[in-house]
Amino acid sequence: MKTLEVVPLARVEGDGGITVTLDGKKVKSVTLDVHEGPRLIEQLVKGMTPEDDINVVPRICAICTLSHKYAAIRGLEKALAIDPPEKAQLMRDLMMLGENVESNSLHTFLLALPDFLGYPSAIAMLNDYGDDVKRALRLKKFGNYVMEVTSGRIVHGENPGLGGFGKYPSKKQLSDISLRSKELLPDAVRAVELFSSIEYSEYSEVDTTFMSVNAPNEQFGLAGDSILISNGNETSADDYKKLTSERVVPHSFAKRSKFNERPFTVGANARMINMGKRLDGQAADLFKENYSDRWLRNPLLNNLAQTIEIVWALEHMPETTEKIAALDDPARAEATRTTGSGTGAVEAPRGILYHHYEVKEGLIEVADIITPTAQNLDDIEVHLKACAERMLAEGKKDEELLLPLEMIARAYDPCISCATHLVNLKRV
């Protein structure tokens, strides 16, 4: 028996590793281990007011900070029957577009691309691919700027709140976002070209199921009250427990999810598979050019899906900012009750994020947070195992397995900090 280890798994957010146990030519097991320490956030927010909760929960993860904030806001607004004004809704759409551009460009260019081109980091690519690294930094910086303008800060902004925003951006800031999103579009298109020119290895291909939110009005989007499943079904987000049925495994401080006893995938590829037909503009053309049924089997294509999504996000900023600029600043909508429950579902860059709350007399009694990476962990292991088995069957040396396995895990854009912080629901 021999064990191969990749510890730490570099260029991901958080502390994880891959352990492959080999028995002769057979792969006994492949596990994605989560070493990131537990924080027990959902237990800590018990007894807090909803306002305090939305300060704390975004700290689960810096990369998905606004997704956490928004999922919590959606869940708590349902619980307290708050009806947010239109301008606040549009601001939330805009902040999610910003986070999507920021996170997708960080992951594709700076974290994933070095593997495909054979470098240890994006910095090491500077001599040979300087223009592309700079392109990535421009896109990422712009995504951060949109997050800053909408949320008040690049990371952990407190401006988005229950019922509205503390302060709305100026017309100048909004037109600046609009202008710059148009200017940066060629950089995003170049990202799609780069990732569509890559030869993706077939070793990890296994058919699976994909889940995403169903964005309202038949549009492609990053939040919704129901969940689309790639088998054609649709379920209310309130049924998130059935969709994710969690369990604890010995090699991880992150819990695991299965749907109908089978692993599934969430993320940009799932969004494209379920909502790709709704894309418009250049994003629609790029999707049509690049989409094939390989997307249903090959996790590496999530990188390509993320780049198409950057194009979509940039193309939708001008319209969103114009709508925001045309509306007067509304007062915050108030809570109409102090007891209730609600589930918020949003698309973090790496997939569906659920926040479920039960509030009693103004204080949180139950918080249940299910992160996208936790939903993906089982499926990551399935694809890792398939890859290891096929490579060994072809007579590859043990050491040759390591990089391809890392690349598969990385393709899911795992956010290990997020994944350790999910907590199951314990009724009191």
Partner 1 sequence: MSSPRVGIYGFTGCAGDQLMILNCEDRLIDLFGAVDILSFAMAKSDNKDEELDVAFVEGSISTEEQLEHLKNIRSRAKVLVAIGTCACWGGPQAMKLEEGGFEKRYKGVYGDAKIAVSKALEAQPVDAFVKVELKIPGCPIDKTEFLSAVSKIVAGRHPYFYKFPVCTECKWKENLCILLEGKFCAGPLTKAGCGAVCPSHNIPCVGCWGPTDDLNVGAEYKLLIEKGYSPEEVTRKITKFSGAEVAKLMKGLELKDMEAKK
Residue of 4, 28, 29, 62 interacting with partner 1 (CB under 8 A): 62
Q: Counting contacts by CB under 8 A, is residue 101 touching partner 1?
A: no
Q: Counting contacts by CB under 8 A, is residue 12 touching partner 1?
A: yes
Enumerate residues 6+ apart whose C-beta is below 8 A from 389: 26, 27
Q: What one-character-per-residue DSSP string does 66-97 give? A: HHHHHHHHHHHHHHTT----HHHHHHHHHHHH
Query: Helices (H) and strands (E) in the chain — how many of each?
Result: 14, 14
- Give me the least distance between CB of 165 and partner 1, in Å please: 8
- Binding residues with partner 1: total (CB under 8 A): 65
Residue of 195, 200, 253, 357 interacting with partner 1 (CB under 8 A): 253
Q: Counting contacts by CB under 8 A, is residue 121 touching partner 1?
A: yes
DSSP 46: T
Q: Counting contacts by CB under 8 A, is residue 250 touching partner 1?
A: yes
Give, as ranges, the residues between 24 and 53 that touch partner 1 (CB under 8 A): 33-44, 47-48, 52
- Give me the least distance between CB of 45 and partner 1, in Å please: 9
Nearer to partner 1, 157 or 221 (CB): 157
CB 311 within 8 A of CB 189: yes
Residue among 271, 304, 377, 325 at smallest CA distance from 109: 304
Q: What one-character-per-residue DSSP string does 288-302 give? A: HHH--GGGGT-GGGH
Q: Counting contacts by CB under 8 A, is residue 105 touching partner 1?
A: no
Nearer to partner 1, 12 or 352 (CB): 12
Which two tokens mark 323? Answer: 């709508």
Q: Counting contacts by CB under 8 A, is residue 56 touching partner 1?
A: yes
- Give me the least distance between CB of 388 and partner 1, in Å please: 19
- Amino acid at the residue 405: L
DSSP bridge partners of 211: 229
3-state SS, residue 198: coil
- Give me the least distance between CB of 43 and partner 1, in Å please: 4
- Give me the least distance between CB of 124 and partner 1, in Å please: 8
Which residue reads 């989409």 in tokens?
291
Q: Counting contacts by CB under 8 A, is residue 371 touching partner 1?
A: no
DSSP bridge partners of 265: 210
Between CA 323 and CA 327 the distance in angstroms is 7
- Give me the least distance between CB of 285 and partner 1, in Å please: 29
Which string of x and - marks every residue 404-423 that binds partner 1 (by CB under 8 A)? -------------x-----x
Give, as ranges, the residues between 130 and 149 that touch partner 1 (CB under 8 A): 137, 140-141, 144
Which two tokens mark 417? Answer: 């900090």
CB 287 within 8 A of CB 272: yes
Between CA 57 and CA 68 the distance in angstroms is 6
- Give me the least distance between CB of 164 and partner 1, in Å please: 11
CB 95 within 8 A of CB 150: yes
Which string of x and - marks every residue 162-201 that binds partner 1 (by CB under 8 A)? ---xxx----------------------------------
* Phi-psi label, residue 383: left if phi above 0, alpha if psi -120 to 50, beta otherwise: alpha
Nearer to partner 1, 75 or 164 (CB): 164
Q: Counting contacts by CB under 8 A, is residue 156 touching partner 1?
A: yes
Nearer to partner 1, 290 or 420 (CB): 420
Tell me whether the omega of the peptide bond preceding residue 120 falls within 30 degrees of 0, making it cis.
no
Residue 18: enclosing H or E segment and its boundaries?
A: strand 16-23
Residue of 152, 318, 330, 340 interacting with partner 1 (CB under 8 A): 152
Which string of x and - marks every residue 336-355 that binds partner 1 (by CB under 8 A)? --------------------
Binding positions for partner 1, rule: CB under 8 A: 8, 10-15, 33-44, 47-48, 52, 55-56, 59-63, 65, 106, 110, 114, 120-124, 126, 137, 140-141, 144, 152-159, 161, 165-167, 248-253, 417, 423-424, 426
